[in-house]
Amino acid sequence: MSDTVVVGLDVGGTSTRATALTLTGDRLGTGRAGGGNPTSHGAERAAAELLTALRAALADVDPTRVAAGTIGLAGAARILADPAGRAAFDRAWHDAGLRCPYAVHGDALVAYASGAAEPDGTVLIAGTGAITAQVVDLRLDRVADGHGWLLGDAGSGFWLGREAVRRLLADLDAGHTPGALSTAVLTELMGSADIAARPRDTVDATIQAVTRRPPVELARLAPLVVTAATDGEPVATTLIAEAAAHLASSVSRIRATGAATPVVLGGGLLTADTPLATAVRAEIGRHWPHAPLRTAGDGAAAAAWLAARELPEVTDPATLHARLFPAP
């Protein structure tokens, strides 16, 4: 068993990370590459980034020692349903020297596994977008939100950015002097906090500045909301409370009242020490007071753990998980 290795990959839109582990939890290598999500980058480019990360993680490992692997990525169902995309991933796997099988799972399952070893629970992710998933027997079951910026992702970074701009526009329409958050948003979008003698001119210019860019880029304004809320700015504080309520509502769509299984929080807005993370923890605690509340960790290590637990040599996956993700 000591010679057996598993590999895990956490494939995102901005980065791809790989980890090689022994079945006792020793990390033999890690790799990092650019964004490898096939939905946003195309299968060929995604596979190329996957190969780069794999080669780095296996630089000091004989690939023939690898017995299993897991790839976690958003939109896993798409790559599994696309023969060309799956073929590109198969080639990357083979070019890395690997001959073992690999599984593809959604990033929500990998995020859950990075925070909990229990087979059943819930994962709530809030970053640029937002999604909630129920996990049953370490498989994704029901899912809520994750509907994208146009139709959902309530409480996400995109949602916070859009709502901050809407508050700015409302202030300008009403002729109010913008508060600290609206001033920061105006400066970020326009390069200046100056308001034209005719405020509608600033409204129009702001709208143009937003619509000239891809809508999802509104998420870059979320840190302004977080910072303002940390400072106690009233509008930002209200937005954080509304976002937390939206996120808790998405959990309530698929999680039973009184459930005591773990809830894992993932995504940059919930894993960092942010006012939104604090507010969401309070909401979850109020709705599910008996649920252990966990924070997502290393997704690549979690993917490797998912691969390891399928091997007959691993008789105690919970102990391996505890070694990979020690309690704080």
Torsion of CA 50, 51, 56, 58, to 10 degrees: 110
| pLDDT higher than 80, residue 117 | yes
Of the chain, the end-to-end C-alpha distance in Å amounts to: 29
- Residue 213's contacts (CB-CB under 8 Å, 6 or more residues apart) are none
> What average pLDDT does range 110-137 have in this prediction?
95
Q: Do domains 5-115+297-324 and 120-296 have the same CATH topology?
A: yes
| 92-107: pLDDT as tens digits | 999 999 999 999 998 8
d(CA 56, CA 148): 33
**Can you tell me the distance from the alpha carbon of 94 to that of 189, in angstroms, rounded to the nearest whole number?**
46
Cβ atoms of 261 and 123 closer than 8 Å: no
Torsion region of 266: left, alpha or beta (phi above 0 gives left; psi -120 to 50 gives alpha):
beta
Spacing of C-alpha 89 from chain mean position:
21
The helix/strand/coil state of 294 is strand
Average pLDDT over residues 106-117: 95
Mean pLDDT across the chain: 93
Distance CA 138, CA 308 (A): 13
Average pLDDT over residues 161-174: 97
Quick one: pLDDT at residue 100?
A: 95
Write the CATH number of the domain with boundaries 5-115+297-324: 3.30.420.40
What average pLDDT score do residues 66-75 get? 90
Task: Give pLDDT, residue 191.
Answer: 95
Q: Which residues are within 8 A (CB) of 198 and not within 5 positions of it... i.e. 6 or more apart?
A: none
Mean pLDDT to the nearest integer, 16-28: 95
CA dist list (Å): 150 to 49, 64, 146, 249, 256? 29, 46, 11, 18, 28
Note the pLDDT of residue 301.
Answer: 96
pLDDT over 90 at 83, yes or no: no
Tell me the mean pLDDT in the region 54-71.
Answer: 96
Average pLDDT (272-289) is 96
Whole-number pLDDT of residue 39 = 66
Q: Per-residue confidence at 22, pLDDT binned at 50, 70, 90?
A: very high
Sequence ranges of the domains in the chain:
5-115+297-324, 120-296
State in words which class domain 120-296 has: alpha beta
pLDDT value at residue 42: 77
> Could you give the CA distance from residue 73 to residue 90 in angstroms, rounded to a whole number?
15
The residue type at 175: G
Tens digits of residue pLDDT in 149-164: 899 999 999 999 999 9
Q: How far is CA 10 from the centre of its chain?
A: 10
Say if residues 264 and 121 touch (Cβ distance below 8 Å): yes
How much of the chain, in percent, has pLDDT values that exceed 70? 96
Residue 123 makes CB contacts below 8 A (sequence gap 6+) with 108, 109, 111, 112, 115, 132, 133, 135, 263, 264, 265, 266, 296
Show Cβ contacts of residue 207 under 8 Å, excluding neighbours closer than 6 positions. 169
Token digits for 253? Answer: 């769509």
Return the pLDDT at 74: 76
**pLDDT for the residue 4:** 94
Q: Each residue of 175-204: pLDDT tens digit? A: 999 999 999 999 999 999 999 999 999 999
